[in-house]
Amino acid sequence: HFDAVIFDLDGVIANTAKFHFLAWRQLAEELGIHLPDEAESRLKGLERMASLELILAESDAHYSETQKQLLADKKNKHYCRLIETLTPMDLLRGAGELLEQLVIRDIPVALASASKNAAAVIERLGIAERFTYIADANRVQNPKPDPEIFLMAAQGLNIAPAACLAIEDAAAGVESINRAGMFSVGVGNQQELGEANKVIGSLNEFSVEDYFKS
């Protein structure tokens, strides 16, 4: 049995990937770059500057580091405007129910999201008070698949990594969890998330009784 749960945000709790994609597409259009639909899956889980590099690779133009920073800031403004429309209705299947069950059982819950907007997102989703600790993406030096953000979350909860169960939708995230020495649950398909200790199709399938003492 485990003592705590650490959640990824995008793709596990809410489909913010769709807003990230729309914001990147808007920026791409402003630069005269066409971003095909299939770019959405390639962007999944990538941190902000890595996502920008992927988009700029579609163009021949050269951008300086300063220009890249301004472009990333611009995308973030588009993204912040888009997430203003988020409501508790945007919680992914099973997410609200699972958080509620964990809180009822007094199981501490942390967030390990690479997004610098994570706090604003969970606030909009109406679940901010469910989290005991939010790992600060601003302080993370090494992006997923490095274990740093999950280790930071465990430390914030004051729980040993081996006693944590963590949930991810991206292969790089599952790798971070495994490298952190935690039990990994992948939400998505077996083929993509085969490295996870357990793969489920959606949080609806997660049974709290199997992993936590009542």
- The partner in contact with residue 184, picked from Mg ion, ligand B16, none with C-beta cut-offs of 5 to 8 angstroms by kind, is none
Please tell me the distance from the alpha carbon of residue 196 to that of residue 208, in angstroms, as a whole number. 17
- The partner in contact with residue 114, picked from ligand B16, Mg ion, none with C-beta cut-offs of 5 to 8 angstroms by kind, is ligand B16
Chain positions contacting ligand B16, by CB under 6 A:
8-11, 17, 20, 43, 45-48, 51, 76, 113-117, 137
Active site residue 37: no
Active site residue 60: no
Chain positions contacting Mg ion, by CB under 5 A:
8, 10-11, 169-170
CB of 67 to ligand B16, least distance (A): 17
Please tell me the distance from the alpha carbon of residue 151 to that of residue 153, in angstroms, as a whole number. 5
CB of 27 to ligand B16, least distance (A): 12
Please tell me the distance from the alpha carbon of residue 198 to that of residue 185, in angstroms, as a whole number. 5
Please tell me the distance from the alpha carbon of residue 214 to that of residue 200, in angstroms, as a whole number. 22
Closest CB to Mg ion among 170 and 177?
170
Please tell me the distance from the alpha carbon of residue 124 to that of residue 149, in angstroms, as a whole number. 22
Closest CB to ligand B16 among 126 and 209?
126
Contact at 8 Å (CB) between 127 and 118?
no
Please tell me the distance from the alpha carbon of residue 6 to that of residue 168, in angstroms, as a whole number. 9
Closest CB to Mg ion among 33 and 54?
54
Catalytic residues: 8, 10
